[in-house]
Amino acid sequence: MEPLRIVESPVVVMPRDNMDTDQVIPARFLKVTDKVGLGAALFADWRYHSDGTPLPDFVLNRPEASKAQILVAGDNFGCGSSREHAAWAIRDFGFRVVISTSVADIFRNNALRNGILPVVVDPDVHAKLVASPGATVRVDLEQMTLTLPDGTQRTFAVDAFARHCLLNGVDEMGYLLAHKDAIAAFEEKR
Amino acid sequence: MDSSISNKPRTLFEKVWDAHCVRAQTADEPGILYIDLHLVHEVTSPQAFDVLRERGLPVSRPALTFATMDHSTPTTPRQPDGTWIFGDAQAEAQVRTLQRNCLDFGIELHALGDPGQGIVHVVGPEAGRTQPGMTVVCGDSHTATHGAFGALAFGIGTSEVGHVLATQCLLQRRPRTLAVRVEGRLRDGVTAKDLILALIAQIGVGGGTGHVIEYIGPAIRALSMEGRMTVCNMSIEAGARAGMIAPDETTFAWLKGRPGAPQGKAWEQALSAWRALPSDAAATYDREVVLDASRIEPMVTFGTNPGQAIPVTGLVPDPASCESASERSTLESALRYMGLRPGTPIGDVLVDVVFIGSCTNGRLSDLREAASVLRGRKVRARTLVVPGSRAVKAQAEVEGLDRVFLEAGAEWREPGCSMCIAMNGDRLEPGQACVSTSNRNFEGRQGRGGRTFLAGAGTAAASAIRGRIADPRQTYDAGENAGPAQGPTNREEG
């Protein structure tokens, strides 16, 4: 997994609450057997006409979105389906950080395993970010700080293990495999 | 197990969790949780098997792994030459990939045409593979269904599917507990689906985030196993990864004699272990919410998330009455997508399609409920009845339910997820309104531009007859409301 330490980038703002993973990537794109190029399907039904031509006003179709690495989303982001394709699509589009007032449980796990940092902030910080589309925000995972467009700094909480894995690019499969003996002993004992 | 743990009063969840901790969590590291049953389907597994191949790893415990195919599979009949007509080549390739992966890695697969095939959350319990006290996972958020048996069951992503295939374990932080106490009794004509929709309307689609729900109280105890599965299934729609119901005589009677269930002496031993699972009387939960079952009416959703539900006798809510700006904009965008005006009786909504099926309501009792409404009547909307499994289909046909559906003018299909997720070619056209017994009314869930109204099987069947959203407690005569709408409706606006 690609490590993540500091991300400094303009933010893309999608303030809608409860954006479910069916919006992040509609089910018809889940028939793939790999995870290549799913960024093209990110928010497909909001982003393209039914004939596939882009809707020019949609935020992800604006030129500045192509370089953005931080998505500011509404409350309860990523609810619904467990499809990891949602995380793959977000990462493939170029985002490394998703900021919201809350993030759904399964999406949070999927994001962390794909080098995406979900950052949960208070409503007042969120309101500032929502009011500043395109402004630059700095996320420092090592310090667990967020530097807002007005220069003020806020701290955020992140699970210690998730932080360790992201900072060092540790993948959990290798970690679990290293506990093979403990797992075998547990099976033996039951 | 650590004896210091066993003295403290514990909830059902805590007992199952503790019994599966290979290593307990610390401040710095998550726990390692052992998984008893791993359910696999074609959509969320191919990339996990690829990781195993890249790393040269076998499947750690193939005997604890059980695969079927459901999402991308056709629900139209098999051709005389034995082939199936897939929605597209990609869907067919995905199904073939699962077949190859199961063959290569030695996993039991119930493929198309196999008597054990069907929606993964219907066939797992049917086979007796889901049992009280187990940990059950699947790359599918509706894995919560299996919690109806007193199992800890939750959906995982594809990376985690790979972890379980390779190690039979997951790295997990212990979630908090939420007790949902349902007092009283459901009234006649009100079902488990109405109960869970009423709960989500009360606590919201994020109301269970970070928690495992345990459903308790007399109204839960009175539910059948199938009703309990419907309730647990939609725990994720309240944001809870898992929902659980303590096992009791209803559970044991349902399980006894199923092929995967313990037999003979092993059954007696299992029973005594299962009887120790219910939460201790003095156990406490992190949160508790209470519902009165006797106040619940048949429910239907009007919006684009499962929390936006009202009684079938209700009116579409008005954004002007919302307390916060964010609630108002959420409601406004939902009504815009659904083509509804505030204040419209939900019973005025014209229905184009009715879908009866899914892991929420595709079991035999749901089909019986729908058939009892449809018997001797004709549908006014295109109606798809899709059994949850091949076993459900076979039993429904023994009972003649297929004839009831066909004579009413409905379509009787092969088992699968079908129009719940619209991956297999069964889908709505833009603007169509569908009363659906499935679990998600998200924008485009049943096909781009489609409008989903979630409800129970009786409500769906009554709506099929009436051609508008209907109250399952009413009897609708042919011809009623056949004329043009009296007031503003979805179709005029759409």
- Looking at the predicted structure, is the pLDDT value of residue B443 above 70? yes
Cβ B455 vs Cβ B463: under 8 Å? yes
| CA–CA separation, B272 and B279 (whole Å) | 15
pLDDT band at B490 (very low <50, low <70, confident <90, very high): confident
Would you place residue B264 in the very low, low, confident or very high pLDDT band (cuts 50, 70, 90)? very high
Flag whether A28 is in a domain: yes
Q: Which helix (H) or strand (E) holds B32?
A: strand B31-34
DSSP string, B80-107: TTS----SSHHHHHHHHHHHHHHHHHT-
B475 pLDDT band, cuts 50/70/90, is: confident
Instruction: Give the span between the Cα atoms of B494 and B483, in whole angstroms.
Output: 18
Q: Answer yes or no: do B171 and B31 share one domain.
A: yes
Please state, in angstroms and rounded to a whole number, the distance separating the CA atoms of residues B95 and B68: 10
Asked if residue B3 has pLDDT above 50, the reply is no
Q: Give the pLDDT band of residue B5 (cuts 50, 70, 90).
A: low
Contact between residue B261 and residue B414 where contact means Cβ atoms under 8 Å apart: no
With a cut of 0.85, is the ipTM above it? yes
Residue B483 reports pLDDT greater than 90: no
Q: Do B28 and A113 make contact, defined as CB atoms within 8 angstroms?
A: no
* Pair B335, B235 in one domain: no
The answer, for B47 touching chain A at a CB cutoff of 8 Å, is: yes
State mean pLDDT over A91-115. Answer: 98
Q: Is residue A1 part of a domain?
A: no
Measure A123 CA to nearest chain B CA, in Å: 11
**Cα B454 to the center of its chain, rounded Å:** 12
Domain assignment present for B193: yes
Please answer yes or no on whether B160 and A164 come within 8 Å at the CB atom.
Answer: no
Look at residue A166 and tell me if it is in a domain: yes
DSSP string computed for B379-440: -SSEEEE--SBHHHHHHHHHTTHHHHHHHHT-EE--SSSGGGTT-SS--PPTT-EEEESSS-
Number of domains in chain B: 2
**Structural domain contains residue A175:** yes
Residues B88 and B112 in one domain: yes
Interval B267-292 mean pLDDT: 98
The residue out of B288, B315, B336 marking a domain boundary is: B288
Amino acid B2: pLDDT = 47
Which token pair is B93? 């390739």
Of B167, B205, B209, which has the smallest distance from its Cβ to A176's Cβ? B167
Could you read off the pLDDT of A125-172 as tens digits, one per residue? 999 999 999 999 999 999 999 999 999 999 999 999 999 999 999 999
Beta strands B309-311 and B299-301, pairing class: antiparallel
Same domain, B181 and B303: no
Residues in chain A within 8 Å Cβ distance of B46: 32-34
Whether residue B136 is predicted with pLDDT greater than 60 in this model: the reply is: yes
- In this complex, do A102 and B206 lie within 8 Å of one another by their Cβ atoms? yes
- CA distance linking residue A93 with residue A87, whole number of Å: 10
Specify the pairing of strand B31-34 against strand B21-23. antiparallel
Are B381 and B467 within 8 A, CB to CB? yes
Round to whole Å and give the CA distance between A27 and A23.
Answer: 9
* Residue-by-residue DSSP string for A155-171: E----HHHHHHHHHT--
pLDDT at residue B238 tops 60: yes
Confidence at residue B183, expressed as pLDDT on a 0 to 100 scale: 98
What are residue A12's phi and psi, to 5 degrees? -100, 130
Q: Residue B326 and residue A73: Cα distance in Å, rounded?
A: 13
Name which of A17, A109, A187 is nearest B330 (Cβ-Cβ): A17
Q: Determine, yes or no, domain membership for B294.
A: no
Q: Answer yes or no: do B265 and B339 share one domain.
A: no
pLDDT mean over B159-184: 98
B39, pLDDT greater than 90: yes
| β-strands A97-100, B21-23 pairing | unpaired
Phi-psi region of A110 (alpha: psi -120 to 50; beta: other; left: phi over 0): alpha
CB of B324 within 8 Å of a chain A CB? The answer is: no
Residue A180 pLDDT greater than 50, yes or no: yes
Residue A28 has pLDDT above 60, yes or no: yes
Q: Cβ(B157)–Cβ(A84) under 8 Å?
A: yes
Predicted confidence at residue B494, as pLDDT, reads 39
Name the packing angle between helices B401-408 and B364-374 (round to 10°).
40
Which pLDDT value is given to residue B487? Answer: 46
List the domain range (segments joined by +) for residue B418.
299-466
* Residue B475 CB contacts under 8 Å (≥ 6 apart), including other chains: none
The pLDDT of residue B486 is above 50: no
Alpha carbon distance B449, B303 (integer Å): 13
pLDDT band at B6 (very low <50, low <70, confident <90, very high): low
**Whether residues B157 and B15 fall in one domain:** yes
In a domain, B58, yes or no: yes
Same domain, yes or no, for B135 and B169? Answer: yes
Residues 6+ apart with CB under 8 A from A174: none
Q: How confident is the model at residue B480 (pLDDT cuts 50, 70, 90)?
A: low
> A1: pLDDT confidence band, cut at 50, 70 and 90?
confident
pLDDT (0 to 100) of residue B484 = 42
Residue B166 lies in a domain: yes
Q: Say if residue B73 is in the same domain as residue B92.
A: yes
Show which of B259, B288, B317 is a domain's final residue: B288
CA distance B361 to A44: 29
- Residue B460 near residue B437 (C-beta atoms within 8 A): yes
* Residue B123: inside a domain: yes
Q: Do B47 and A35 touch (CB under 8 A)?
A: yes
Give me A118's structure tokens: 């979900």
Q: Which residue has the tokens 């209803």?
A: B250
B148 and B253, same domain (yes or no): yes
Q: A–B: how many Cβ contacts below 8 A? A: 169
Contact A172 B171 (CB under 8 A): yes
How far is B102 from chain A, CA to nearest CA, in Å? 15
Tell if the CB–CB gap between A160 and B326 is shorter than 8 Å: no
B461: region left, alpha or beta (phi > 0 left; psi from -120 to 50 alpha): alpha
B356/B438 Cα distance (integer angstroms): 8
Q: Give yes or no for residue B170 having a pLDDT over 70.
A: yes
Residue B303 lies inside a defined structural domain of this protein: yes
Residue B1 has pLDDT above 90, yes or no: no
- The answer to whether residues B280 and B326 belong to one domain is no
Chain B residues in contact with A18 (beta carbon < 8 A): 205-206, 305, 330
Q: Angle at Cα B365 formed by Cα B363 and Cα B369, nearest 5°?
A: 120
Question: Which of B169-173, B225-229, B323-327 shows the lowest per-residue confidence on average (mean pLDDT)?
Answer: B323-327
Looking at the structure of chain A, the number of domains it has is 1
DSSP state string for A117-164 = EEEE--HHHHHHHHT-TT-EEEEETTTTEEE-TTS-EEE----HHHHH
Q: Do A84 and B44 touch (CB under 8 A)?
A: yes
Q: Specify the pLDDT at position B92.
A: 97
- Both B250 and B319 in one domain: the answer is no
Q: Where in the sequence is the domain holding A155, given as residue range(s)?
A: 6-189
**What tokens appear for A66 in the block?**
């192509």
Q: Final residue of a domain: which of B239, B256, B288?
A: B288
Q: Say if strands A70-73 and A6-14 run parallel, antiparallel, or are unpaired.
A: parallel
Contact A89, A38 (CB under 8 A): yes
* Average pLDDT of the residues in B112-140: 98
Measure CA of the first residue to CA of the last residue in chain A; give whole Å: 34
B491 in a structural domain: no
CB contact under 8 A, A82 and B206: no
The first and second tokens of residue A87, run together, are: 């995380």
Letter for the amino acid at A14? M
* Mean pLDDT to the nearest integer, B61-70: 98
A85, A88, A89, A84: which is closest to A106 by C-alpha? Answer: A84
Question: Taking Cα atoms as reference points, which of B465, B342, B346, B473 lies closest to residue B405?
Answer: B465
CB contact under 8 A, A87 and B157: yes
Burial of B110 (0-12, 13-18, 19+ CB in 10 A): buried
Q: Does B274 map to a domain?
A: yes
Q: Taking Cα atoms as reference points, which of B157, B473, B387, B8 lies closest to residue A21?
A: B157
How many other CB atoms sit within 10 Å of the CB of residue A80? 28
* pLDDT averaged over every residue in chain A: 97
Q: What is the CATH number of the domain that holds B320?
A: 3.30.499.10
CATH number for the domain including A169? 3.20.19.10
Give the number of other Cβ atoms within 10 Å of residue B27's Cβ: 7
Do residues B305 and B282 both lie within one domain?
Answer: no
Mean pLDDT confidence for B116-134: 98
pLDDT higher than threshold 60 for residue B99? yes
Determine the distance in angstroms separating the CA of A147 from the nearest CA of chain B, rounded to an integer.
25
* Rounded Cα gap, residues B395 and B206, in angstroms: 37
> Binning pLDDT at 50, 70 and 90, where does residue B476 land?
confident
B335-363 pLDDT, tens digit per residue, is 999 999 999 999 999 999 999 999 999 99
Chain A touched by B71 (CB under 8 Å): yes
Higher-pLDDT residue of B494 and B27 is B27
